[in-house]
Amino acid sequence: MLENDIDRLGDGLLDHEVALLGRAADFVRREIRPQAARWEADRRPPKELFSAAADAGLAGAILPVEAGGAGIGMLAASRLAETLARADFGFTFALKVHANAANAIARRGRPDQQDRFLPDMLAGHRIGAFCLTEPEAGSDATAIACRASAAPGGDWRVDGAKAWVTNGIVAGVMGVYVQTDAAAGWRGIANLIVEGDTAGVRRGPAYDMLGGHAAGLCDVTFQDCLVPADNMLIVPGEGFKAAMAGINMARMFVAAICSGMIAECLDRAVEYGAGRMAFGQPILANQGLQWELAEVATDLEATRRLTEHAARALDAGRPAIAECAHAKKFATRAALRGISTCMQAMGARGLKADEPFARHFAAAKMCAFLDGTTEIQNIVIARSLLRPHGLEAS
């Protein structure tokens, strides 16, 4: 179980990173595991839990120390995501998006922007969101149509719609990717900080989905929103590149989240199988079930190794584009297979809402779409194979 796994999770990490994982495991035990099934049943994001996560040091873990964060590396951050995701995908993903939004301000923002936004974000009082995907622009981020036009005084007027906005229901600080010059294509894309209470910001109802409702996903529209010039976070010419770098890192995190969900389901299936008696013996005494769960264990180890490889590459300052694509592609497939196998091992018990299987299975399917579909990962990987030969992936 998770409490017995900290030694493995802490392998290769610094002391303060290991201590953070210990606090995360305690947070999972006290705050997430007892409530996750209810969040799903109620179809609501647990906004109130962001402050508790901040108090445990989880909201700002990846931010630099000088910005008020813990300054942990990507390897430690991946282990943190795995730890949290064992209990719930939705809140883990929401917290990751919030932390990434704060991290963008910490690393790219001007001092005045950091002073205005980071204290409340690091305390969990204002929740961050990443607004890139649009109703007609999903995987093709160069096609975004949400526009920012010049307004008097150097301010910006934002009009358009964003879709699949994690934390959209509760976000108070939105990093919105906008097109400032359609003729410039991707070079016209910039990032503006739009505050949640800005006039003209409209949030749609929370999506009714297969699962993952704690992530607070919804549509957000912007109609004649006047945004101060001082809220320009990433200038045109740099916005698209920043978005792609953020998505690449997010792919590694999705793989880590899948590791956590597989591990939780495997532990639960083994525990149940060792104690459930049928025909005079534990069901885990059957070789067929042993081998099925052994396959899940192998996929879990492979997922962890691919995730670690991608995280170490990011920590080394490399783009790690192919590494992150490999990790996400394999992890989402392994999660779907493995969680289904573990669910089957539970018999009808695996269908009950107080078990993690249904929530994690739904989340595994969602992970196949997040931050680039599996098909997009194949394009990325193919490009890495073909580029040395002067060819382009189709």
Residues of the chain with pLDDT under 50: none
Q: What is the pLDDT of residue 4?
A: 62
Q: What is the pLDDT of residue 391?
A: 87
In the numeric block, the tokens 């358009």 are attached to: 160
Distance CA 33, CA 335 (A): 19
Q: What is the pLDDT of residue 264?
A: 97
> Among 1.10.540.10, 3.90.700.10, 1.10.3720.10, 3.40.50.20, what is the CATH number of 2-126?
1.10.540.10
Closest CA to 290 of 325, 266, 322, 320: 266
Report CA-CA distances (Å) from 385 to 159, 272, 319, 322, 382.
Answer: 40, 44, 16, 9, 5
Backbone angles phi, psi at 277, to 5 degrees: -95, 140
Q: What is the pLDDT of residue 114?
A: 97
- Domain spans of the chain, in order of start: 2-126, 129-237, 240-389
Q: What is the pLDDT of residues 298-315, one digit of tens each?
A: 999 999 999 999 999 999
Q: What is the largest CA-CA distance in the chain?
A: 80
Q: What is the pLDDT of residues 358-370, one digit of tens each?
A: 999 999 999 999 9
Q: What is the DSSP string of 187-234?
A: GGEEEEEEETTSTTEEEPPPP--SS-GGG--EEEEEEEEEE-GGGEEE
Say if residues 195 and 120 touch (Cβ distance below 8 Å). Answer: no
Report CA-CA distances (Å) from 85 to 2, 243, 276, 330.
Answer: 11, 24, 26, 17
CATH of domain 240-389: 1.20.140.10
In the numeric block, the tokens 């813990």 are attached to: 70
Q: What is the pLDDT of residue 3?
A: 58
Q: What is the pLDDT of residue 138?
A: 77
Strand pairing partners for 226? Answer: 157
CATH class of 129-237: mainly beta
Give the sign of the dihedral formed by CA 326, CA 335, CA 371, CA 244.
Answer: negative
Distance CA 376, CA 387 (A): 16
